[in-house]
Amino acid sequence: MQIRKVTKAVFSLSLAFLMLSAPVASAIDSYYSEDGAPQGKLGLVWVEDSLRNGNPVSYAQYYNSDEVRVCKSLTEKKCLENNWNQNVMLVPCSVDDSSACIEGISIGTDPKNLTKAKLVRNIDGNNMEPYLPFGIPRGGTIGIWEAPGQMHTGDNNQYSVAARIEYGGDKNGAAIIGFQASVVPIRIQNGSYTKMELIEITDASRGGKTFPVFAHHIGNCAWQEADKCAIAQQWQENAIASLKIRVPKEITGWLYGRIASPSIDVSNFNKTLNTVTITAKPVTVQGSKPLVDIDKIPTGMKNFLTNDGKNPFPDGPNSANGGWVWQIATDNDDSLNWYKNWFAYTNDKADGMVDYWNIKSIPSQSVGSSCISSTKELVGLVTSNSMLYSGSAPVFRDQSMQYKVTSLHYMPDGVTPFLGSYNLVMRSSAARCLYKFSSAPVQAVVEVINPNGSIQVATTILNESDGWLKLSAAGFTFSSPTLKIKLTQNGNRKTLSKQEGNKITITCIKGKVTQKVSAVNPKCPSSYKKMG
């Protein structure tokens, strides 16, 4: 079995080792597809987790000529004197509270009465000393936490918790590349597993060059250590998790990810750190593993997979007969090209369902409008249960915030439609800047624009409190729609009071949704019709 992995990390490759163990009978595992394909087949895996998709450990590496080498920390001269990047898995604050760290995790079903989890241990793996001259915190490993009484489908109360900061730089300084965090309900399965670590190998086919690989096979493991694999479970019904972390103030702008009904709280911890608390429900996302016969690949698809022959399928006793699987990131625009080429082999239905709770940062430079871009504070959070989605803040165009999502139409039974959800949390000040609103109340209209131009109605909830505007849309069916979120306001309160005698109120309707509009010359929103 061989794996070809496509992720954002250039050097995030995996060695493949096939390990099988009998599952626990009482457990209900989330769908994490094996990373191999039968001989004679080529496959693709759409299944995502922010911390299992490459870079799952603390490490440092540097770039020397056309080689990439591993170093234990930036204190090594050979590392610091070259271009480098470092992956830091945050440690619990009880281990080191002097820099970025994990304060804790609480889990339950009642948002007002969540259960505080206790750290059981951190898994076996590489630990790295902090590099204080550049403000880089201590690097540790993924933690196992227990929340008393909060059982998941693995028949236990253990949860894997991880938060990661990626740095890049040279001898002159460092910059934060990205931030991610994940909470996963798990059960531990014993077997012939190897621990996650970054090692160097020399490849004769690359002219004897040395480069790093992650020496582990993920398969259906959320993470692994020697002789142990953490199998992701489904969350308990109506579950809520609240993750509290300290992060550098340089982590600004937008977050995105796999959560539902989120709320966010940001407070000052000290002159360099913020305390960020994200409370949200997990979401259930489609997993898909389409396969194609290697001797029946259409010409167009083969050209796509081989880059018009520039990257031909490798030779060898296994690869010549198939066995390849591509792991595709679910949160970038390139994924849509893969989707178009592989869609015919999906039967437009999921192969399984995965429960997720994770968040990631969005680079500030990828956000267009200055109103919703900041290098000083967190501006917003956008989430969806879509299989593929834009790993960015919404695009502001034609007076609406637009966001692209793509999912298969049906659940694994091939009959039940998969219903979409979308959540937007943003600072009220950013929304009012974007739309040039006053402090008067705001309304929202969410349109789901399908590729054929048809429009769906999404059930929309909007509220505003504590300086944050919170919007959720749900109940729409998928293909490859664009979500258009348009905020509206009846007008400035002072202006309205002067013109009260001239104001007219009309009722607008779209499907089962009605909306009242009051103005001197009122007009219904796009796609709504005036009643009466």
Question: CB count, 10 Å around CB of 453?
Answer: 6
Structure tokens given for 290:
């389409």
Burial of 66: CB neighbours in 10 Å, binned 0-12, 13-18, 19+ = exposed
pLDDT of residue 515: 66
pLDDT of residue 402: 85
Residue 326's nearest CA partner among 306, 310, 308, 299 is 306
One digit per residue, the tens of pLDDT, for the chain of length 532 reads 223 333 333 323 333 322 333 333 458 998 887 767 888 888 888 767 555 555 678 889 998 777 788 887 888 888 888 999 999 999 999 998 889 999 999 999 999 999 999 999 999 988 999 998 999 999 999 999 999 999 999 999 999 999 999 999 998 999 998 899 999 999 999 998 888 888 888 876 667 777 777 766 566 788 888 999 999 999 999 999 999 999 999 888 888 889 999 998 999 999 999 999 999 999 999 989 999 888 888 888 888 888 887 877 765 444 555 667 777 767 666 777 788 888 999 999 999 999 999 998 886 555 556 787 777 888 889 899 998 887 777 888 888 888 888 899 999 999 999 998 889 898 988 888 888 888 877 888 888 888 777 887 677 888 888 889 898 888 888 777 788 888 888 754 333 333 334 446 677 777 656 666 666 567 777 777 776 5
Strands (DSSP E) found in 72-172: 83-89, 101-108, 115-116, 118-122, 143-146, 158-170
Question: CB count, 10 Å around CB of 29?
Answer: 20
Phi and psi of 430, rounded to 5°? -70, -45
How far apart (Å, rounded) are the C-alpha atoms in residues 391 and 360? 9
Secondary structure (H, E, C), 172-233: CEEEEEEEEEEEEEEEEEECCCCCCCEEEEEEHHHCCEEEEEECCCCCCEEEEECCEEEEEE
Residue 246's nearest CA partner among 412, 357, 424, 94 is 94
CA distances from 343 to 322, 346, 451, 507 (A): 19, 5, 15, 42
Structure tokens given for 136:
């880089």
How far apart (Å, rounded) are the C-alpha atoms in residues 441 and 215? 54
Phi and psi of 60, rounded to 5°? -135, 145
Phi and psi of 237, rounded to 5°? -65, 140
Sort strands 395-397 and 459-465 into parallel, antiparallel or unpaired.
Answer: unpaired
Cβ atoms 358, 282 nearer than 8 A: no
Residue 183's nearest CA partner among 158, 208, 214 is 158
Is residue 138 classed as helix, strand or coil in its secondary structure?
coil
Cβ atoms 3, 36 nearer than 8 A: yes
Please write down the long-range contacts of 295-301, taking CB distance under 8 Å and 24 or more positions apart: 295/40, 297/42, 300/341, 301/341, 301/342
How far apart (Å, rounded) are the C-alpha atoms in residues 283 and 512? 26
Helix, strand and coil percent figures for the chain, each rounded to 5: 10, 45, 40
Angle at 474 between CA 283 and CA 451, to 5 degrees: 105
